[in-house]
Amino acid sequence: MNKKTGAVYLTFLIALLTLVGCGGGNQQSPASEESESDQTAIKVWVMGSDEYWRTYHDELVDRFTKDNPMIQVELEYIPWNEGEKKLITAAANESLPDVSTIAGRWTAQMAEMDVLEPLNNFYKDDYPEQFVKAAWDTTQYKGKTWGLPVGFTTTGLFYRSDWLEQAGFEQAPATWEEFVEVSKSFTKDGHYGFGLVGYNGMETTMFWAPFLWSNGGEFLTSDLKQAAFNEPEAVEALQFYVDLYREHKVAPEGSINNQRQDSQDLFLTGSVGMTTVGPWFPKFLEKDAPNLAFGIAPYPVKKKAANLGTADHIVMFNTSNKKEAAWKFIDFFTNEENDKKWAKYQGFIPYRKANIENNEMANDPNFQLFFDVAKDSVSYPVLPEWPQIDQAVAEAIQKALMGEKTPKQALDEAAETVNALLNQ
C-alpha cells in the first residue's frame, strides 16, 4: 500500500471511528475457485431498504436464479445512510460480500482502499460502447472499470404551475433573476418560493452544485489537485444561494437543517412552490398529491445550462472467490432488459444506449425533460477523496447560510481543508 493509498484508507477508518449515532460480457471470465457441479452461493448487498426497493430487487433475484439455477444469491438490504460505514467496517474485518451496489461517489475511494475487483477482464472490448458515456465514465478511475452503472439520473426544477399562473407568469423561471422573482411571488400567506436544502451533508452540495456549474465554476482544478470552489464564480454562486435564504427570505425558516426529503415533502404538502428533484418524483406526486398541479423545467441558468448527473454502481470485491458467479450476476443486473425495467420502475434514465434511443418513457411529458437535459448533466470529480471534499463544501454552505461566515470566508476555509487532503 503506497503512501497515498494508506492516507486515504486511514482517513476512512478515522471517519468511521468518529461516527456518532449515526448481452454483455460473454468473454471467458478469470479463473475462480468455484465448482461447476455444485451450487454456488454469492453474497450480495443492495443499498436501499424500503419496501418499494426490496420488491424490485427480490423479483430481479428470482429471475436470475431461475436462469442460473446453479447460483444461489444471499441478498441483504442496507439502508443508504448506513452503507458507507458498513462497507468500511466489512473491509477492515475482511467480511465484504461478493457483490454490492454502492453510491457512485464511493467507488474511487473503495478502489483506492484496494478492496474492489477491476472488471476489465470480464467483458469484451466493445462492451463499454453499449452504455451511455456519461454513466460509464463514472465507473472509470485510473484507467480501470471498477463497477457498472445501475442508476443514472439527472435533476430538474419542479414548480407549482397553478401558483405560477396565478402570479402572472407565462413560463417557469429560466434565469437566476427570474428564479428570484418567481420565488418572491410565491412567498406569501405562509408559503415559500423554494425548498432550499442546507444541512451539513452531501444533499446540500447536490442542491448547490448546478448553480456553481451554471455560473462557470468548478469544484476542483482540471488536474484534480486543488480546490476551485472558492474562485470568484463559485463565491458568486454561493452568495446567490445564501441570498435566497437570508436576503430574499424565499425559503422556509429552518432550511439550514433541511435535507432533500424535507424539500420534497414541503413541495408535496404545498408549503413551497419549487424544489429540485430527479425523474422519480412524479410517481410520488401522483400517489401522494394527485391533485397537485406541477410542471418540470431545467435549472435556471446564469452563464450556461447545467444539472447534476449521478450514477450508482454495482461492484465486485476482490476478496470474492466466486468471481465467475459474481460477474454473471452483475452482468444480468445491468443488462438491457433490467436497465429498462429499473428505469421504468424507479424513474431513472436508462444507462444502456439502446434504451435511451428506443424508450417510450422519453415521450412521457413527466420524463421527457430529463432526457432533454441529460446532455447538460455534469458529474462530480472521480477521486477517492470526494466524500470528504463533498462534506467540506456542505459544511461551508451551511456556515454561510447561518451567517457565521461570508460565502468567501466559508469557501476559503473549506478550500484549505481540501487542499491539505489532496496534498497528503
How do residues 291-315 score in pLDDT, each as one tens digit?
A: 999 999 999 999 999 999 888 999 9
Structure pTM? 0.80
pLDDT number for residue 37: 53
pLDDT number for residue 365: 80
Phi, psi (degrees; rounded to nearest 5) at 300: -60, 145
Contact 105, 86 (CB under 8 A): no
The grid coordinates listed for 215 are 455560473
CATH superfamily of 156-307+382-423: Periplasmic binding protein-like II (3.40.190.10)
Please give the C-alpha separations between residue 410 and each of 225, 283, 398, 399, 403, in angstroms, as whole numbers.
Answer: 20, 38, 9, 7, 10
| CATH 3.40.190.10 residue ranges for the chain | 41-154+309-378, 156-307+382-423
Give every residue of the chain whose pLDDT is below 50, as ranges: 1-36
pLDDT number for residue 152: 86
- Give the DSSP H/E element, type plus range, for residue 83: helix 80-92
Contact 332, 338 (CB under 8 A): yes
pLDDT number for residue 375: 80
Instruction: Give the residue among 374, 385, 262 at the shortest CA–CA distance from 311.
Output: 374
pLDDT number for residue 30: 45
- CATH number belonging to domain 41-154+309-378: 3.40.190.10
Contact 68, 99 (CB under 8 A): no
